[in-house]
Structure 1
């Protein structure tokens, strides 16, 4: 039998190495995924990169007004070497010219995004007033067509705008910072081999039933009313019943365990991962549910037992599924109307 390293998967390139291999278009897409992690209040994040982008690669809009309201610019530079001052200042000139020409208002923040930021650029931008002075000196003698093709009046406006600008708006971000923040986005799992994450603590059921529980709880009430008749046909009687009350408590714990998994999936992974688990359980559970049973109680117990052994499709989320989640998924399916425990005709 093979053991040890022979049983291990081959090592995968690190996320940093993968991103270093991106071409400029792939890098901009990566940045577009990362930007919402910086500011979740953006109403929209949009990629502009390409011919005629006026120096905007990825824009984060703070209002529905887009480029006519507060916005942040993310300038993506995918080079083999570190991003230095000369390249960054050229992009600054492009930004100031774009404002003067009316393509957009000046962004609130201008973020230089590159795999590696040169130490000299970091040092320059760490002193905004000196960075502005250096930029204005360069501007006086530049031969950059972005500036030289402007009219004399427009060039003067560029200088005035730069003089009035607080250069603390220019911020450098490198790969390590980006990866740490990108990891908090759902897009991470689609790009990289996902490392094990710590699943948050399981939610505990509140004392009072929430509106979002109504349907699956009603299904359980039908089960108890059918089995114990008038002794357990309301929530008040169920709470006092020696068996129904304890059973209800366990089912609510299972429901909230699955709800915890749902929220974890929502925050950590792209859409569809929890749906895959729901569908896996439903595919088998619905066949078990369709059998003939004397009571809805019998159907419910059969489905819960089946859910405990259903083979789940291997996804980045399936490793986090606990036995209690599987029970809870059945109640989520009942809550969605995809499973029911008692047949309307009275005989289950």
Structure 2
């Protein structure tokens, strides 16, 4: 089933959860994404706060509208939702109006609404002209909401070019949709890219490489003064290259799944690797290098997965070096 079709078939709660996750991944500018979407939400399903000022600063509003099969978001329903925002703003529910107002409607919008969204000034005029029809008795069941001079002035001052809609095809093209689908519908993520070690050693590698230098120094019976000296050694140079590749394989795997699935799943995977190597790591070994080799052999040969997708051997082995970096295990005494 295509990604677009999966998005179309999300249930109401799933759609709001999806947009919550999607919005959080969509923009790193948000200091917080909050899912409201319940009775008395004052016209807000999911909001993204741009600053810690929250509703006193800039914020974006995502209004979720899941329609049944063959049904599109219509003009009347959209007008009612827009009217809610202006009324609740004037009524004091939030100090500022949303920087962006986005209808998230996977199945699309009716042609009349689509036309107005493409012509912001006409959308503004239509809301004012049809207030009695779509808003007066529909914003709240508790009372009639008249188009007061203050509400009118607020609508007239708002930039309706900031009102937009997102349908399933447009969302599906966004890379941020994938982690949301993985978490909401448990869809398997794609394959993580391979990792490649740069020519220069970075600060992130120092912890495990420093310990490997001690390991190789013990094996050689004499200390290596630098990593370049180990790389030049015919016995251990290739080993250092392989270990660096494994470390970056694990980095690429970690970053891919943090961006495309769930950060918690990455932490669980690392814990799984720790439990996988625990007994072998703690066995008696003839030397420090024998222990490193035994852990690498054992970890690489045994299965470990993240969200149902098996990890490749160098990823599992490289994660051992990440555990060293975290201080969970040590290669040297």
Tell me which interval the TM-score lies in, with the shorter structure as reference length: 0.7 to 0.9
Q: Structure 1, residues 117-145: CA drift from partner, whole Å, max 9, x if none?
A: 21221112111122222222213666723
Where structure 1 has 5 or more consecutive residues not aligned to the other structure, the ranges are 1-11
- Is the Cα contact below 8 Å between 1:257 and 1:325 reproduced in 2? yes
Query: Given the alignment of the two structures, is residue 255 of structure 1 paired with residue 247 of structure 2, yes or no?
Result: yes
Select the residue among 47, 51, 70 that pairs with 2:58: 70
The answer as to whether partners of 1:280 and 1:311 remain within 8 angstroms in 2 is no
CA 1:121–1:226 in structure 2 vs 1: closer, same or farther (change >3 Å)?
A: same
1:251-290 deviation digits (Å, cap 9, x = unpaired): 1121111111111121111123333443333324221222
1:107–1:274 CA distance, 2 compared to 1 (3 A): closer
Q: Which runs of 4+ in 1 moved over 4 A?
A: 12-15, 140-143
Aligned residues: CA RMSD: 2.7
The CA deviation string for residues 180-228 of structure 1, in whole angstroms up to 9 with x for no partner, is 4375453321233535625334232341x32222221122111111111
What does 1:136-215 correspond to in 2, within 5 Å?
136-139=128-131, 144-145=136-137, 146=139, 149-150=144-145, 155-181=148-174, 184-192=177-185, 194=187, 197-207=190-200, 209-215=201-207
CA contact (8 A) 1:273 1:317 kept: no
Q: In the alignment, what sits opposite 1:98?
A: 88
Q: TM-score normalized by structure 1?
A: 0.83
Structure 1 residue 234: Cα displacement: 4.0
* Helix, strand or coil at the partner of 2:164: strand
Shift of 1:163: 2.0
Counterpart for residue 77 of structure 2:
87
Whether 2:235 is the aligned partner of 1:243: answer yes
Deviates more, 1:247-256 or 1:187-196: 187-196
For 1:308, what is the secondary structure of its paired residue?
Answer: helix
Q: Which ranges of structure 2 fall in alignment gaps of 5 or more residues? A: none
Mark the CA change 1:221 to 1:268 in structure 2 (over 3 Å): closer, same or farther. Answer: same
- Could you tell me whether the CA contact under 8 Å between 2:77 and 2:134 is conserved in 1? no
Bigger radius of gyration = 1
Matches within 5 A, 1:214-225: 214-225=206-217
TM-score by length of 2: 0.86
